[in-house]
Structure 1
């Protein structure tokens, strides 16, 4: 008993045979670089097998199949596989499989022509463009402008003077408090008064150092200002005037040193 599946296979085979009867008459006339084109049917997969020889191919070549019917209709099959598309290889007996059923193509007993076309990409070589030499860039112009006053020295002088004023104010307050409580009746009171006296003496020493440094820095700024004005008409020498002060404690005395560089 014949099943529906068997009838379907027989119908597909009959359609392929009818299609090939009109296809074989035009296969050898396909205007392409492929030769010896043969048409057949793959019994296992029910696909059309287009077999051909390709004498040569280039790495950038691509190959595709085109179908032309007797009514003038042209189309490219979509469901194709094998030695088709890009990355093709040359040689005899190359095969392209076309699944007619998957493409749902209805030819209605028309005669068809199989065209195997090769698209060959020819690289265009352009002459090298002469590059223009890059013009040299001018060196950046650096404009230096010296300050008319030794700004850092004046800032240091102001800071030292302000610190000296704060120290002097605090020392005067502590001296007044010490004088009011100069009489000690007990040992803890005497110890507190003694600690107060030592603190006042220590801060007096610091005040002397800071005030002396402020005075020295002020003198150095004045000297630097005079030196700048006197040397304004002379050639400029490398380096800028720089004033610095150093405080070096030695044993119980404190030394203040002035370092000025022109």
Structure 2
């Protein structure tokens, strides 16, 4: 079997390499065909193996067959062995064969396409400088490799063969992430904005040791680190003072 790259297709959020993987010339029964699903949405006057493979692969079929020089059919199994000689060329590419004029099919393997690639953080709100897990949802594809960048000033991640990455995010607020997954035949992309906060650290309250009743005095509250703080101070005399700070202290 010879594997040849024949076409590159650019789609929104996707770079796809389509392969022509010719399996042979198979006899198929006209009354009980193994390749029997018409994928539709093609012009018989311009069909070729590449387009037929792509149509079948997108519908989840493993094999694409062409017959009579213009008919594309899909299926999941081929139980026989190639016994014929397919000599009818495809109208869309004369270097490829599209079966014979009778009951023989030119059979190709259809690419296993990927769908539904999404970046999914393990937590809705993540923390800075704490190991956080970011998952990658994907359906289909083989030999998957993941790469990406979190825009917090740190290094990019990948190449990974696992569908998740553990990462210490270095900045709070809204932090962007982009990622891609590459299979044997295509690359998909996704992007997302992560919500990141910083946990409160080193909270210190200091007041004068001795004060005079009914006289103003000052206390100092120090927070080394934290985001979107809501601070309450109970003076022990029945009064609670609420302070709010946005951003990082």
Structure with greater strand share of residues:
2
Larger Rg: 1
Structure with greater helix share of residues:
1
TM-score under structure 2 length normalisation: 0.22
